[in-house]
Amino acid sequence: MTRRERKQPESRRRTGCWRCKEKHVQCTEEWPVCNRCERLNLHCARGLKLLWREDAAQRGICFGREGTLSKRSSKAITPTKIEIGPEFQPVPNDQYTGRWLFLNTTYWDFGVNGEEVAKCSLAQLTEVVQSLNGLARPSPHRPLGHPLAQCSSVESFLLDYFIRGIAPFCSLSTGFNPYLSLVTPLALNYQQPHEPLRNILLAIAANQRQLLGDRAYEREAFLFKQKALHGLQNEINHRKPSAGAVATITDGCTPSWTTHLRGGLQLMEMLPHQMCESETLKRFFVMYFVAHDIMGRTGVEDPSEMSKVAHSWLDDDDLEEIDVLMGCSRGLMTLINRISTLATEKSKVMKTRQLTPQDISTFNTARNDIEAELRVLHQKLPSYASLQEDLLRIAETKRLAAILYLRERLGSPAGLCYFYPVEKFSHHQDKHHKHKHNNSINSPLSNQATMLSAVETSSSGFKARIVNMIISLMENLPDSPTLLWPLFIVGNVGLDDEEHRRFVLDRLRSIQKTRNLGSVRRARIVVECAYRAKDIHFPRGKVWGDEGPGVISLA
């Protein structure tokens, strides 16, 4: 028999089941079970098995075709342990936190072991959810899934946009955001969902997309708003308001926001104490409505169209603590409210008759008392935002703006007045921050430290100095709607400095690009009208807030 006629051995095939490969037996490859596996009652499995380089190195086996095979010997040389070379670069997991990761999932993950892991994970997640604020308690009969899984594609997109694109910018602190920790769970809690609140969140997201130029959600903005108002009206008619109803009004600020605000303040009186799920939620409601009422009244001379509703802070509120939603303390907002009330009373008297010497003395005494309190007002950071220096800058900016507002509404003090010591204007530096952050926060003011007793020669010079200090504090602050009120006040001071005007208009434009809010657009219109009137020397007489599109939400 010639060499060619000899039977050639079959080449080694890489197909076949894993059971036959483990025993080095040629598989007959029948589907779905080969003969050997069927005869021995074995599980016949085919497919690819991935071997990672690091796994091979740890087990001390060859990786792929690595290793050596001697032709002189029938035995393969034992492969040496593969060392991970210098080209291996581990990837830190920090940069992938909160993002999707690729997982090497195999069919084993869907077997019996995988079910046990899933049950364990479900139990752990249930404990975590129940520990968060006590607002969401998943039912054991309901599978734990994404809260937006049951929504339509449009609703899912809009709710996700509100959670990711709107709510994070409504608070100045990343550690405390009531819109994410209180309002959103109240709307999406599947056990007792509040449909009007959910609909208003959808309307807000759709309206914001529309304002940013996306016309695809114009219809949804009106549709969800109509549903929210209809559901809210039903609760009010049945005199069974819930916390969700109050939260619905907090997010319903449209051009008719004064009506919503007045309704929210009255609804707070109707809301039973036990209806508020937590004290934090009630504090959020009070802060929102009271602050918007106070700051909204500062934009007009006579806020008669805003019906006066009695309101006050909670008994245990710290008046010195800076609120992360409004960017200032409750004590400062109380002083601002006193300025508006006193200025309105004075304006009403002057419209009917001239002030008597007794009236002048009474108003001047009250005015000087407010200014004295503003000079020594202390504002401190909350415990959950103790390291946020920007929050201190914003609070100090609003305190200085309140002094400007006082001077514009009630005039300068009678007689000679002296510039305040610079330390008074940087009083927000407490002892804890003096030695650590003095350079970063007080640097814009340090150049004037020698002018502790300079005589104030004119009211315009005093205003210009305060405006410079406000601009110095605001230059390093990010564009945020919380700066709207200081910019509005500076824009209505009536100074001729072009640098001041350019700064105010540029910041208003930047804030509008960040969030195209109606309040920002209207405030910008008022400031531009004030500048035009000043330029053409319009003989209007200086009456605060007599121009522009009515009452503006400046909180």
pLDDT in tens, 316-340: 888 899 998 889 999 999 999 999 9
What are 476's two structure tokens? 């390093």
Tell me what pLDDT residue 428 has: 40
pLDDT of 179 over the 80 cut? yes
Whether residue 164 is predicted with pLDDT greater than 80 in this model: the reply is: yes
List the single range of 78-92, 310-324, 489-503 with lowest mean pLDDT: 78-92
pLDDT the model gives residue 231: 77
Residue 473 pLDDT more than 70?
Answer: yes
For residues 362-372, average pLDDT: 92
pLDDT digits (tens, 9 = 90+) for 222-261: 888 888 778 777 776 665 555 555 555 544 444 455 666 6
Per-residue model confidence (pLDDT) at position 311 = 66
Distances (CA, A) of 4 to 1, 9, 10, 538: 8, 12, 15, 113
pLDDT at 401: 95
Mean predicted confidence (pLDDT) in 366-373: 93
444 confidence band (pLDDT: 50, 70, 90):
very low
In this prediction, residue 57 carries a pLDDT of: 78
Distance CA 511, CA 529 (A): 19
Residue 110, pLDDT score: 54
Q: Is the pLDDT of residue 173 over 50?
A: yes
Give the per-residue SS3 of 209-262: HHHCCCHHHHHHHHHHHHHHHHHHHHHHHCCCCCHHHHHHHHCCCCCCHHHHHH
Cα 446 to chain centroid, rounded: 33
- The percentage of residues in the chain with a pLDDT greater than 90, rounded to a whole number, is 14
Helices (H), ranges, 414-545: 422-425, 431-442, 459-474, 484-491, 498-514, 518-535
| Alpha carbon 291 to its chain's center | 18
Predicted confidence band of residue 552 (pLDDT cuts 50, 70, 90) = confident
| Helix or strand run (H / E) with residue 322 | strand 322-323
Q: Using a cut of 0.75, tell me whether the model's pTM lies above it.
A: no
pLDDT at 339 (0 to 100): 93
Expressed in percent and rounded to 5, the helix, strand and coil fractions of the chain are 55, 0, 45
> Strand pairing of 455-456 and 322-323?
unpaired
Question: Please, are residues 204 and 248 in contact by the beta-carbon 8 Å criterion?
Answer: no
- Tell me how far apart the terminal alpha carbons of the chain are, to the nearest angstrom: 103
Residue written as token pair 């069919």:
107
